[in-house]
Chains A and B, each alone.
Chain A
């Protein structure tokens, strides 16, 4: 059997594939111990002169004894972390079709400008008169976000998407309290298909959650929402485009129904990348929406953060935006850091975080926006949607689409109906993709679909890249329906690690390195 390079794929035709090495290393894949196993307490990779003798002012608080932190010299540290990096898959490695996460290209220009000393080396509490350029960045970012969403206000400070959700829901809670309905309006409607952060956020700030059923076509119907509406309902938290990758067709009617009932419309903006420059949340009746700068505006994901989650707000919620914010009067920008300094008519609900939010991410997002421009951002959304639908078209005859009646937006959702009876699960399929050099798609989310596979290619992929991806998934799909189960159930075969035992990790949690017991005791 030959692979697509025309080389033999069977062991025996080439050299043996399971040749054990003395070190356990496999060429570029190096086994790397923990720093606690290779470092020493007396070693350091930083040279600092000992200060001249002085009289300590620590009083009785001086630390005694070992801290338990080994150090590495600079070459050792460099090698350690380079080796660790080689065990990671990133966007720069290959296609990263993680649905709902928007793993698009991270431009290094954005990294470069964020490191300009005027941005990276300024303190949040140095005199405001010494940071006019920082206020410029915040105002310019705010202008872009408000224009792209068609919303009149934005709270920049939330640190990530879920923090932005909390901020938006707090603004809603404050607005309800201001109307004197705080005691009675305490229910938040959340569709079954929603991401787990939505119900968690609502509960966090004291709302109770009611689920809106999912329709068989993957959308939320206005009549289902209306059936739940009453004087106790504060808001709906609706993701749009939704977690099934569909633009909610009745979103305008749902917004109107909420407003008519005296309630608010919180939109989860995790999937904003599908519609930038194509549709504005402000035109759809949204009252608040967070924007994941690390998704839509590529500030990057960094292995799980840092993110940034600014929240755009409607006219009705804008007065409750938290401090700090910048207020422009008479052409002059003023940084408002305290409730008491808020301009007339504003009643900030409080503060989300120390200081002014994720400045480093503001700069990166602004660099993305300036680079793309209005035309480039619109094109990026169109390409993201086009790419997702192209993948869908390339796989629809082999894999099953739970919601074939709606076009996909920027992500294509499949279920595991097509795997029934094969003995291969969604997880197995995902792990087999690793062997083929791909990061798997999002699996088992959204929960409303059985064995979900959510594929989001983003606009960063070329047609050639998509064609190979489609061909690979077709090959895998045919194999899954055939006889070679070990390609799936034992996958991954070629990753730095085989499949990891997550049950064991949770049953007997080992959350830090412990010094091994002396050999003598261990032998007993």
Chain B
């Protein structure tokens, strides 16, 4: 077996050195009758060629985004990732290292975490950011728990523009922890009266912008009302590229900002692994979940970086920890940081501009299709189209024509009476030809 260096002779010599005759003697603590004698009912070892064939066949059954006109978003987005990114994250020293518990031989990881934290703070307009969460949805649930610790209240109000999966993740954790959640109705046109839901019993208000229907929301009045009642504003985004074009949550007085970072540096991957971004006002540092990287000096006085404030964490605080999280999204963080470094402010704002320009073009074109109506007042690179037919049927019909058109709202919110809505995303990868094909095919289907 190509991955196992020991030879039969080695094994015999080693057993002799240990003083046993058979490897099963080392398993003597396994209770009687529970030690397996035969290999399990699974195939035997395979060479690299055969494994590649098997998985290649499975892969070939899927329609890759890059092979068709592709407009699917709603929380994960197809962007172009520079070749440099994937090359660098596969360097052995990054790929095969562990969480940097021995900082003297992990400065590579620690320095990029520090760069990442600085980038995320700048993007969101916040004072501090952590070294990442699993993804945007779990980060949102952790943000709600954090708000409960800060305010010593246990009731979260969720906007109807929040991604339905994020709502479900928050609801699941809250139900288990016996915390209260008030989830407002799906809010397609960003017209909900969330201010009315804020009172002195509320710990936090969770609002997404751009929201799951693509609308841009004004967070400032929500922050003001929340703060007047001693509650926190948690601002969420699922498309981080939007921060190159829209007012960041930090400038609107958000207390905690959580987002999905997949768009920068990371592939679609059918939903994971992704990278959660998490930032906050610095007065809340000690209530933050997740790893934090901080600057310090070594014994010679040279600048270096370490994981810090670990007294918040589970390995020290056990059942009093701020979170149970242990692993984060290291390599996805690295991909994000390298891509963001390549972009810089100049590249990011240009990328955001192109995304928005393309989305405006598509919205204008779709508005001209009979039986299709774009609902958004404002949007970044994604918007909601009301169709004359059920959106799920339309999406299937378009898929049959080789166009992946968007996410039917019924996929996220079945039974909500929103079956005629399709959420459509458009990024820099979409060409004029893609858009023309989409518009023509939609006109045929409707």
Contacts and interface: CB of A to CB of B under 8 A. Distances in A.
Contacts of B52: 109, 112-113
Contacts of B380: 58
A68 interface: yes
A499 B346 CA distance: 38
A84 B324 contact: no
B431 interface: no
B182 interface: no
Given A81-B338, A376-B45, A495-B104, A117 B67 contact: yes
A459 interface: yes
Given A54-B357, A80-B341, A162-B326, A511 B270 contact: no
Interface in B121-158: 121-123, 128-129, 131-132, 134-138, 145
Given A367-B51, A393-B19, A353 B272 contact: yes
Give the top 3 A-B pairs by smallest Cβ distance, nearest first.
A71-B344, A355-B271, A350-B172
A58 B217 CA distance: 10
18 contacts: A45-B344, A70-B345, A88-B109, A93-B96, A98-B101, A113-B59, A117-B66, A123-B404, A124-B268, A126-B72, A247-B27, A304-B327, A340-B414, A383-B11, A407-B26, A460-B4, A500-B306, A511-B117
Contacts of B74: 125
A45 B84 contact: yes
A67 B246 CA distance: 11
Interface stretch (A6-14, A225-233, A294-302, A415-423): A294-302
Contact of A196 (B1, B317, B349): B317
Sort chain B's interface into a size bin.
35 or more
A22 interface: no
A519 to B, nearest CB: 18
Interface stretch (A258-266, A311-319, A477-485, A502-510): A502-510
B283 interface: no
A389 B26 contact: yes
B383 to A, nearest CB: 8
A522 B65 CA distance: 53
Interface string A214-251: 00000000000000000000000000000000111101
B93 A161 contact: no
B415 A340 contact: yes
B330 interface: yes
Contact of B62 (A60, A118, A370, A465): A118
Nearest to B72: A123
Interface string A54-68: 111111111110111
B446 interface: no
Contact of B78 (A121, A302, A459): A121
Contacts of A307: 327
B369 interface: no
B298 A159 contact: no
Which among A49, A351, A430, A505 has the greatest number of chain B C-beta atoms within 10 A? A505
A162 B95 contact: no
A257 interface: no
Interface stretch (B32-40, B191-199, B433-441): B32-40
Contacts of A249: 29, 31
Given A58-B216, A93-B93, A376-B3, A355 B165 contact: yes
B201 interface: no
A468 to B, nearest CB: 13
A205 B176 contact: yes
Nearest to A174: B176
A373 B2 CA distance: 12
Contacts of B13: 463
Contacts of A170: 172, 176
A162 B399 contact: no
Given A68-B122, A113-B52, A122-B65, A91 B96 contact: yes
A120 B346 contact: no
A350 B342 contact: no
Contacts of A67: 122-123, 243-244, 345, 348-349
Contacts of A366: 55
A116 B360 contact: no
B388 interface: no
Given A122-B268, A497-B107, A88 B59 contact: no
B384 to A, nearest CB: 13
Interface string B377-406: 111100000000000000110010000100
Given A69-B345, A440-B102, A501-B296, A136 B92 contact: no
A380 interface: yes
A103 B117 contact: no
B44 A117 contact: no
B39 A50 contact: no
Contacts of B331: 300, 302-303, 305-306
Contact of B308 (A136, A394, A505): A505
Interface string B294-324: 1111111010111011110111111111011
Contacts of B407: 125
Contacts of B18: 386, 389-390, 392-393
Contact of A59 (B56, B271, B378): B378
Given A459-B6, A506-B308, 14 more contacts: A44-B347, A62-B245, A136-B58, A163-B325, A206-B177, A301-B96, A303-B95, A354-B166, A379-B1, A383-B11, A385-B27, A496-B104, A500-B304, A509-B309
A460 B96 CA distance: 13
B325 A162 contact: yes
A355 B404 contact: no
B324 A394 contact: no
A204 B3 contact: no
Contacts of B94: 85, 88, 90, 302-303
A387 B411 CA distance: 50
A163 B141 CA distance: 12
Contacts of B64: 117-118, 121-122
B273 A360 contact: yes
B428 A509 contact: no
Contact of B104 (A119, A166, A500): A500
Interface string A87-130: 11111110010100101011111011101111111111111011
B354 A51 contact: yes
A121 B165 contact: no
Nearest to B400: A129
Interface string B13-27: 111011100010111
Contacts of B119: 69
B404 A118 contact: no
Interface string A328-369: 000000000110110000000111111111111101001101
Contacts of A284: 31, 34
B362 to A, nearest CB: 11
B263 to A, nearest CB: 12
B163 A354 contact: yes
B285 A159 contact: no
Contacts of A275: 27, 30
A511 B285 contact: yes
B368 interface: no
Nearest to A337: B411
B176 A206 contact: yes
B43 A506 contact: no
B106 interface: yes
Contact of A498 (B4, B298, B306): B298
A112 B94 CA distance: 16
A130 B54 contact: no
Interface string B229-254: 00000000000000111111000000
Contacts of A42: 346
A87 B107 contact: yes
A359 B163 CA distance: 20
A462 interface: yes
B315 A113 contact: no
A77 B171 CA distance: 42
Contact of B316 (A52, A112, A196): A196
Nearest to A306: B273
Given A300-B95, A512-B128, A490 B168 contact: no
